[in-house]
C-alpha cells in the first residue's frame, strides 16, 4: 500500500520533509499516528538533533477540498499564526507543507502533552474538581479571542459561514443529497426565529470540549481551527453550550463543564459584553443542526471511499440520534 | 425474531453470526491501542446496530410514516426515499408552515424509529413505541 495510510511510507516522507528544513544531521523518531480526525490525519514525531528531541505534530488534510467545509490549510496556518501572536493558547506553528514535501496540504506545529478525550474530562475523578476551572478559562480565552481583528486573516469574513451561516449549512447539507426531514424542519424553524446578529467578531468556530488539550492545572491549548470564521460571539457561546458536547452529563450545559449562567457571567466579566441569552439558545439549536450535518458529511466520506473508517460509518447512524436531540430541544422537552 | 423468509438457512442465523464476530472483536479490544481500540469499539457498536436492525419488525414505524403521508395527502405510490425527498422539498418550500406543531410530533416519531435501531437506550420512554 504505497500511500499515506501506510505508516512506513508516510514516515519516510516526513523524514525527507524534516531533513529539508532542519538539515541532514537530524533524525526523526517515535512516529505515532494519533488520530484520523474529522478533517485531517495527525502524526506525532520527535525531531532529534543531539540529545534533545523536539516533539512535533503534522496535520495533513484528508478531505478533498471540493467537498470540504473546512478552511484550506494555508488559511488555517495563518489563523494559528495570528492567534499565537495574540497570546491565545495554541500549539506553536512551525512550518507549512510545500509541494516539494509530497505530503499534500498541511502544516506542522509543536506537540503539547495532555488529555483531549471529552468523556474523560467530564467523568474522570482526576478532572471532576477542574470543571469549574475549565469553564472559567474557556470564557476568558473566548473573550480574548473575540477581540482579535479578523482582517489579519484575509478572506475569513468572505466565507459563507461568516456572511450567511444558515445558508452555508443548507448548502453543505444539499451536497450530500440525503433526505432528512428533521433537518429541513430545523432549517425552517431557525429561519423563522433568526435573531439579529449584531457585531462581527473573530470566531474559533468549533470551540468545545474535545478540541482542547488539558492538564490537571487547566486548559493548555486549543486545537482544530479549521472552522474559524467571523460572526456573532453568540454563535460561539451557543456552540459551546450545544447539547452534543455534554457526553452523558446533560445537566452540565456549558460544554459539560458547568451550568450556562456561570459560563455566561464569566464571559461577561472577561469581555465586558453582555451575553444575549435568547440569541445564544438559538445558536445552540443551530449548533445541533450543524453537528447532524457534519455527521452526514463524515458518513458520506466513508461511503464515497474517500476516507473509509468504522468511526465515519458510525457517524451515519449517529445522525438520527442528533436529529432526535434537535427535535426535542425545539419542542422544549430537552434543555 | 429474524424475518421468517430467511429461516431456511442452516444455523447459526444472521444475528448469531454477527454476535460471533462481535465476541471475537471484544476479545481483541484489551490488546489494542489508541486508534485501533477506538475503531474496534466502533465496530462492536456497528454490529449491535445491524443486529437490532435485523430483529426489528419490518412494520415498525409504519404508524408514524403513514401519519406523515396522510398529513401530506400523499396518494402517489412513492418509495420511502421518494416520499422523504418529497417531504423535505415541501418543508423547504414552506408548504408546511401552518402545520409545524403537528409535523414536529410526527417527525419525532419518525426519528425515534431510527434511534430505536442506532441507540435505543437514548430514547425517552414515551418515544419508545
User: How close A197 comes to chain B (CA, Å)?
Assistant: 23
User: Phi, psi (5° rounding) for residue A212?
Assistant: -140, 150
A232: burial class by Cβ within 10 Å (0-12, 13-18, 19+)?
A: buried
Question: How far is it, in rounded angstroms, from Cα B118 to Cα B49?
Answer: 5
Closest CA to A107 of A121, A88, A90, A123: A90
Identify residues of B whose CB sits under 8 angstroms from chain A CBs.
34-35, 38-39, 42-43, 45-46, 49, 68, 81, 84-85, 87-88, 91-92, 94, 96-97, 100, 103-104, 107-108, 110-112, 114-115, 117-119, 122-124, 127
Per-residue pLDDT of A147-204, as tens digits, reads 999 999 999 999 999 999 999 999 999 999 999 999 999 999 999 999 998 899 999 9
Within 10 Å of residue A114's Cβ, how many Cβ atoms? 14
A26 touches B at CB < 8 Å:
no
Could you tell me if A96 and A7 are in contact, meaning their C-beta atoms sit under 8 angstroms apart?
no
Segment B75-86 shows an average pLDDT of 82
**A323-332, B27-36, B44-53: segment of lowest average pLDDT:** B27-36
Segment A229-237 shows an average pLDDT of 98
Mean pLDDT of chain A: 93
Question: How far is it, in rounded angstroms, from Cα A226 to Cα A206?
Answer: 8
Every domain of chain B and the residues it spans: 11-55, 62-121
ipTM of the complex: 0.91
> Does residue A259 surpass a pLDDT of 60?
yes
Every domain of chain A and the residues it spans: 7-110, 118-330
Residues paired with residue A205 on neighbouring β-strands, in sequence order: none
- pLDDT category at B34 given cuts 50, 70, 90 is confident
Homologous superfamily of A118-330: Aminoglycoside phosphotransferase (APH), C-terminal lobe (3.90.1200.10)
User: Which CATH number does the domain A7-110 belong to among 3.30.450.40, 3.10.105.10, 3.10.129.10, 3.30.200.20?
Assistant: 3.30.200.20
- pLDDT category at A257 given cuts 50, 70, 90 is very high
> What is residue A122's predicted lDDT score, i.e. its pLDDT?
84
In Å, the largest CA–CA distance within chain B is 56
Smallest Cβ–Cβ distance between A310 and the set B42, B81, B114 belongs to B42
DSSP for A51-100 reads TEEEEEEEEEE-S-GGG--SPPHHHHHHHHHHHHHTT---PPEEEE--GG
CB within 8 A of A174, min separation 6: which ones? none
A313: which chain B residues are within 8 Å (Cβ-Cβ)? 42, 46
Question: How far is it, in rounded angstroms, from Cα A236 to Cα A242?
Answer: 10
Smallest Cβ–Cβ distance between B104 and the set A35, A185, A313 belongs to A185
Per-residue pLDDT of A18-72, as tens digits, reads 999 999 999 999 998 876 565 678 899 999 988 788 999 999 987 665 667 899 9
> Does residue B1 surpass a pLDDT of 60?
no
Within 10 Å of residue B82's Cβ, how many Cβ atoms? 13
Tell me if residue A33 falls in helix, strand or coil.
strand
Per-residue pLDDT of B14-30, as tens digits, reads 999 999 999 999 999 99
> Does residue A6 surpass a pLDDT of 90?
no
Amino acid at each position: 500500500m504505497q500511500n499515506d495510510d501506510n505508516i512506513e511510507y508516510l514516515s519516510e516522507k516526513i523524514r525527507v520533509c524534516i531533513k529539508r528544513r532542519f538539515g541532514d544531521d537530524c533524525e526523526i523518531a517515535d512516529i505515532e499516528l494519533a488520530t484520523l480526525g474529522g478533517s485531517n490525519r495527525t502524526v506525532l514525531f520527535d525531531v532529534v538533533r543531539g540529545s534533545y528531541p523536539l516533539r512535533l505534530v503534522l496535520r495533513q488534510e484528508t478531505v478533498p477540498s471540493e467537498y470540504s467545509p473546512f478552511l484550506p490549510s494555508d488559511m488555517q496556518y495563518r489563523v494559528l499564526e495570528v492567534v499565537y501572536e495574540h497570546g491565545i493558547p495554541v500549539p506553536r506553528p512551525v512550518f507549512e507543507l510545500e509541494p516539494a514535501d509530497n505530503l499534500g496540504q498541511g502544516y506542522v506545529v509543536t506537540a503539547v502533552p495532555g488529555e483531549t478525550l471529552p468523556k474523560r474530562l467530564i467523568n474522570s475523578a482526576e478532572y471532576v474538581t477542574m470543571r469549574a476551572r475549565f469553564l472559567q478559562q474557556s470564557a476568558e480565552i473566548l473573550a480574548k479571542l473575540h477581540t482579535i481583528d479578523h482582517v489579519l486573516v484575509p478572506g475569513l469574513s468572505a466565507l459563507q459561514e461568516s456572511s450567511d451561516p444558515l445558508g452555508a449549512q443548507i448548502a453543505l447539507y444539499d451536497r450530500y443529497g440525503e433526505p432528512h426531514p428533521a433537518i429541513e424542519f430545523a432549517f425552517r424553524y431557525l429561519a423563522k426565529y433568526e435573531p439579529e446578529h449584531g457585531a462581527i467578531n473573530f470566531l474559533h468556530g468549533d470551540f468545545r470540549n474535545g478540541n482542547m488539550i488539558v492538564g490537571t492545572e487547566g486548559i493548555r491549548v486549543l486545537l482544530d481551527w479549521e472552522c474559524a470564521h467571523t460572526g456573532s460571539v453568540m454563535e460561539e457561546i451557543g456552540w459551546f453550550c450545544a447539547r452534543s458536547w455534554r457526553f452523558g452529563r446533560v445537566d452540565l450545559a456549558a460544554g459539560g463543564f458547568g451550568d450556562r449562567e456561570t459560563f455566561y457571567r464569566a464571559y461577561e466579566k472577561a469581555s465586558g459584553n453582555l451575553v444575549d441569552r435568547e440569541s445564544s439558545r438559538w445558536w445552540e439549536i443551530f449548533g445541533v443542526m450543524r453537528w447532524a450535518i457534519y455527521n452526514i458529511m463524515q458518513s458520506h466520506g466513508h461511503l464515497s471511499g474517500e476516507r473509509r473508517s468504522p468511526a465515519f460509518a458510525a457517524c451515519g447512524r449517529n445522525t438520527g440520534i442528533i436529529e432526535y436531540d434537535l427535535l426535542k430541544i425545539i419542542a422544549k422537552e430537552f434543555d | 425474531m429474524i424475518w421468517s423468509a430467511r429461516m431456511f438457512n442452516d444455523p447459526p442465523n444472521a444475528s448469531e453470526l454477527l454476535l460471533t464476530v462481535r465476541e471475537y472483536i471484544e476479545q481483541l479490544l484489551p490488546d489494542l491501542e489508541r486508534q485501533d481500540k477506538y475503531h474496534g469499539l466502533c465496530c462492536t457498536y456497528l454490529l449491535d446496530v445491524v443486529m437490532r436492525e435485523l430483529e426489528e419488525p419490518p412494520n415498525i414505524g409504519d404508524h408514524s410514516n403513514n401519519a406523515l403521508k396522510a398529513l401530506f395527502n400523499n396518494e402517489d405510490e412513492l418509495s420511502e426515499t421518494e416520499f422523504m425527498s418529497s417531504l423535505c422539498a415541501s418543508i423547504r418550500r414552506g408548504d408546511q408552515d401552518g402545520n409545524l406543531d403537528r409535523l414536529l410530533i410526527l417527525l419525532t416519531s419518525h426519528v425515534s424509529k431510527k434511534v430505536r435501531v442506532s441507540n435505543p437506550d437514548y430514547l425517552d420512554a414515551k418515544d419508545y413505541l
